[in-house]
Chains A and B, each alone.
Chain A
Amino acid sequence: MLIRKPDDISSSEITPERVYINRRDFIGKSAGIALGGATGGALIGGAVGAALVGRPGRATAQASPGGQRDWSSVRSEMGEELTPYEDVTSYNNFYEFGTQKEDPVRNAHTLQPRPWTIEVGGMCANPGVYGLEDFIQPGTMEDRVYRMRCVEAWSMVIPWYGFALKDVIDRAEPLGSAGFIEFKTLYDPAQMPGQRGRVLDWPYVEGLRLDEAQHPLTILATGVYGRDLPNQNGAPIRLVVPWKYGFKGIKSIVSMTFTEEMPWNSWNRQASNEYGFYANVNPEVNHPRWSQARERRLGEFRRRETLLFNGYLDQVAGLYAGLDLRVNY
C-alpha cells in the first residue's frame, strides 16, 4: 500500500486517532471490494488537515476505483458524515444551466465534457494548450473529503476525486511577476443554455492569489464519490477551495491564466458590495443581506455554527496574516 507523505507534514498535523481508527475500519471494508489497480483503501488524514481517502495514483481522467467502494463509513477529518451522492449531484448552483438549484441536473446533459481542452497561459515560462488527459498528467489523484460552504448559508460534505492545483502550476513555471491565476468556464450557449440570458456576465471568471492556488488544500477535481464529475457538478474539471465560499469553485474550466493583476471574478462584478475576491468563509463577516454566522448542513434540521475558514483555520490562516478580513471579504 502506498501512503503518500508530503514533505510539508508537520508533526502537529498527524492523523487524529478518530480518523485513524476510522481508517482501519475503512480498509477492512474496502479491501474485499477493491478492483482493478487498486491496492485497497487508505485514509491519509491530516496530511493537509483534510481527510484524504483512498489510494493516490497515476493521473488519469478515469474515475477512481472508489466508484465501487462502500462510502458509508467514510467521514471528514472532523467526523462528519458525507452528504449523499444524490444530493451532491441534484442541488447545484451552476447558472450556465439555470438559476434554480434543480436546473443543472435537468439541463446539463447538453454539455459535452469530452473531448476537452484547457489553455494555460499568461505570465508563465511554459504555456500550452492541453487535452484533458495531458493537462492533469502531473497530478497525483486522490479522494479528498471536504466541507463545501455555499455563500447562501447551506453546506455539504463531499468526497472529491482530484489533485493539488500546485501540480499543474509547477509544470507551467509561473514567472516572478505572476501574483494571481484567473480561471474561465467554457463559453458556449449551445452547450450551456443559461448563457443565452444575461444573468451573469459570461463566461464565468474566478481567480486565486498564487499562494492560495499553491496551497495543498486547493485541488482540481475530476470526480466525486470516486466517479467522474457529473455535468451539473462542473465536468470535466473544476476548482475546489474548501476554505472559501462555493462560488470560488469554478466549474468546467477551459483556461488558466497567470496574471499580475487581481482577476475580476464574476460575482464580484455582479455585486461588489456582496461578493468579494477572497470570499473566505467567515462567520463574523455577514453578507449584506443575510447572516453568515450559521449554516444549514443539508440533511440536518437545526442550523450549525459556521467555522472560520470553514474549519481549515489551522491550515490557511497563515495566508492572511495582516489582511483585514472585513475589508477583504
Chain B
Amino acid sequence: MRRRLLLLKGLVWFLGLAPAVWLLWRGFTDRLGVNPIEEVLHRLGDTALIALLVVLSITPIRRLTGWNSLAPLRRPVGLFAFFYLTMHFLWYAAVDQTLDLEFIIEDIMERPYILAGFTAWLLLIPLAVTSTRGWIRRLGKNWRRIHRLVYVATGLGVLHFFWQVKADTYWPIVATTVLAVLMLLRFRWRRVRTRGPLPAVDPRG
C-alpha cells in the first residue's frame, strides 16, 4: 500500500515537473517559435488549468473506481496547479508587460478575462498556504469549506480561457465540458446519497 502511494506520488512529481522542464529545454534550444513570450505565457496557463481539472477529477475517479489511495494526490497536484498559475501570472506581469504597473492595473480593471484569471490566482493563494498539516489541523471543519474555493477558481480559469480566444473555441469548450461533467457528478452525489457517504480520508495523505 505504502509502495503504491510512493509510486503514484513519484508519477505526480514527474508529470508535474515535465511541462516546466519541457519549456526550459525549448527555451534553451531556441524552439519556442516566433513569439516566444506569448508561447511560454500560454503553455503555463494551459498547464495550470489542466492541473486544476485533474485535482477536481481525483475525487470523482475515486468514487467511481474505489481507488481511495488516490486521495493523497490532491495536495501535490493542487500545489503544482498553483505553481503554474503563479508562474503564468509572474510571466505576464514581469515579461509580457515588463512590470509596467499602469498597464497591468488597467488590464485587471478593464479586461474581464484578465480580472477573472487574476481572481482565480488570488483565490488559490489561501488554499496553497493552508495546504500544510498544521493548517489542516488548526482549521478543522473549516478547512474543507475554504478549499471548496478551488471550484470557483477553476470556473474562473475556464472563463478566462474562453474569453480570450478570437474565434476558435474548441479547447475552451473541451475545458468547459470537463468541468461541467465533474460538477454534475458532484451535485448528483450530493443529492442522491444512495451510495452512502464517502469513506473518510485523511486529507494529509
Residues of A participating in the B interface, judged by any CB pair closer than 8 Å:
87, 90-91, 95, 99, 101-102, 152, 154, 199-200, 270-271, 286, 289-291, 293-294, 296, 298, 301-303
Tell me, in angstroms, the Cα distance from A303 to B107 when the chains sit together.
15
**Of all chain B residues, which has the CB nearest A266?**
B167
Partner of A289, one of B98, B164, B167: B164
**Contact assessment for B35 and A294 in the assembled complex, using a CB-CB cutoff below 8 Å:** no
Within the complex, the shortest CB–CB distance from B158 to chain A, in Å, comes to 16
4 additional contacts (CB under 8 A) given A154-B35, A289-B111: A91-B34, A152-B166, A200-B167, A301-B98
A-B contact pairs, 21 of them (CB 8 A): A87-B34, A90-B33, A90-B34, A91-B33, A91-B34, A99-B166, A101-B34, A101-B35, A152-B166, A199-B167, A199-B168, A270-B167, A271-B167, A289-B111, A289-B164, A290-B111, A296-B37, A298-B35, A301-B37, A301-B98, A303-B97
**Of all chain A residues, which has the CB nearest B34?**
A91
A residues in contact with B97, CB < 8 Å = 303
State whether the Cβ of B106 lies closer than 8 Å to any Cβ in chain A.
Answer: yes
Tell me, in angstroms, the Cα distance from A302 to B35 when the chains sit together.
12
- Count contacts between A and B, CB distance < 8 Å: 48
State whether the Cβ of B163 lies closer than 8 Å to any Cβ in chain A.
Answer: yes
Most chain B Cβ neighbours within 10 Å, of A87, A200, A289, A301: A289
B residues in contact with A200, CB < 8 Å = 167
State whether the Cβ of B113 lies closer than 8 Å to any Cβ in chain A.
Answer: yes
By Cβ-Cβ distance, the 3 closest A-B pairs, closest first, are A99-B168, A91-B34, A87-B34
> Taking A289-B111, A289-B113, A291-B107 as contacts, is the C-beta distance between A95 and B167 under 8 angstroms?
yes
| Per-position 1/0 for B112-153, Cβ under 8 A of A | 110000000000000000000000000000000000000000
Tell me, in angstroms, the Cα distance from A154 to B34 when the chains sit together.
11
Within the complex, the shortest CB–CB distance from B123 to chain A, in Å, comes to 22
State whether the Cβ of B103 lies closer than 8 Å to any Cβ in chain A.
Answer: yes
Partner of A293, one of B37, B103, B163, B164: B103
**Of all chain B residues, which has the CB nearest A83?**
B34
**Contact assessment for A291 and B106 in the assembled complex, using a CB-CB cutoff below 8 Å:** yes
Secondary structure class of chain A's binding surface, majority of residues? loop
B residues in contact with A101, CB < 8 Å = 33-35
Tell me, in angstroms, the Cα distance from A323 to B135 when the chains sit together.
61
**Of all chain B residues, which has the CB nearest A286?**
B110
Tell me, in angstroms, the Cα distance from A90 to B164 when the chains sit together.
22
Tell me, in angstroms, the Cα distance from A176 to B105 when the chains sit together.
50
**Of all chain B residues, which has the CB nearest A88?**
B34
A residues in contact with B98, CB < 8 Å = 301-303
**Contact assessment for A91 and B35 in the assembled complex, using a CB-CB cutoff below 8 Å:** yes
Partner of B163, one of A99, A289, A303: A289
A residues in contact with B34, CB < 8 Å = 87, 90-91, 101, 298
Tell me, in angstroms, the Cα distance from A303 to B110 when the chains sit together.
19
B residues in contact with A303, CB < 8 Å = 97-98
Tell me, in angstroms, the Cα distance from A210 to B85 when the chains sit together.
49
Partner of A291, one of B38, B103, B163, B168: B103
Tell me, in angstroms, the Cα distance from A151 to B124 when the chains sit together.
32
Tell me, in angstroms, the Cα distance from A286 to B111 when the chains sit together.
10
**Contact assessment for B167 and A99 in the assembled complex, using a CB-CB cutoff below 8 Å:** yes
Most chain A Cβ neighbours within 10 Å, of B33, B34, B106: B34
Within the complex, the shortest CB–CB distance from B161 to chain A, in Å, comes to 13
Within the complex, the shortest CB–CB distance from A192 to chain B, in Å, comes to 15
Considering only residues 139-188 of chain B, those with a C-beta below 8 Å from chain A are: 163-164, 166-168
B residues in contact with A286, CB < 8 Å = 110
Tell me, in angstroms, the Cα distance from A200 to B107 when the chains sit together.
28
A residues in contact with B111, CB < 8 Å = 289-291
Within the complex, the shortest CB–CB distance from A329 to chain B, in Å, comes to 16
**Contact assessment for A294 and B103 in the assembled complex, using a CB-CB cutoff below 8 Å:** yes
Within the complex, the shortest CB–CB distance from B33 to chain A, in Å, comes to 7
Within the complex, the shortest CB–CB distance from A232 to chain B, in Å, comes to 12
Tell me, in angstroms, the Cα distance from A293 to B110 when the chains sit together.
13
Within the complex, the shortest CB–CB distance from A97 to chain B, in Å, comes to 13
